[in-house]
Amino acid sequence: MSSPLADEPVEPADEGTEPLTDDEYAEYLDALGPAWEVVDDHHLEATYEFDDFADALAFTNEIGELAEEEWHHPDIHLSWGEVGVEMWSHDIGGLHESDFVMAARMDRIYDGDD
């Protein structure tokens, strides 16, 4: 079941915006699925599991299309049966609401609800 966050627009941070603090991002993290964690108060991380490389590659391509549509891009590590994702706002050097929306959108694709 994906998060209502996935229905929010992806509105990347304006230049000069401060990254979210742990208190500020807590509500967004709570709204995401259990796959996601915040690392070093800097980025979101998740690992999605698949039956084989072909399925992992297909998912990689789907989230790549999402990233291009929204012009907000994850770092993706593609392996046999696994896709590792890191999500943060490079322009501000940390986390923004748009990163949590993207994470929820990726969950929705993984869950097949998209």
Residues that bind ligand H2B (CB under 6 A): 71-73, 89-91
Q: For ligand H2B, give the closer residue by CB, 72 or 105.
A: 72
Cα(60)–Cα(100) distance, integer angstroms? 18
Q: For ligand H2B, give the closer residue by CB, 56 or 94.
A: 94
- Minimum CB separation of residue 71 from ligand H2B in Å reads 5
Would you call 88 helix, strand, or coil by DSSP? coil
Cα(2)–Cα(31) distance, integer angstroms? 9
Q: For ligand H2B, give the closer residue by CB, 54 or 61.
A: 61
Cα(31)–Cα(107) distance, integer angstroms? 11
Beta bridge partners of 47: 84
Cα(68)–Cα(55) distance, integer angstroms? 20
- Minimum CB separation of residue 92 from ligand H2B in Å reads 7
Token pair belonging to 66:
């999402």
Q: Which residue is nearest to ligand H2B (CB)?
A: 91
- Minimum CB separation of residue 46 from ligand H2B in Å reads 14
Measured from the Cβ of residue 104, the count of other Cβ atoms closer than 10 Å reads 21
Q: For ligand H2B, give the closer residue by CB, 94 or 108.
A: 94
- Minimum CB separation of residue 1 from ligand H2B in Å reads 25
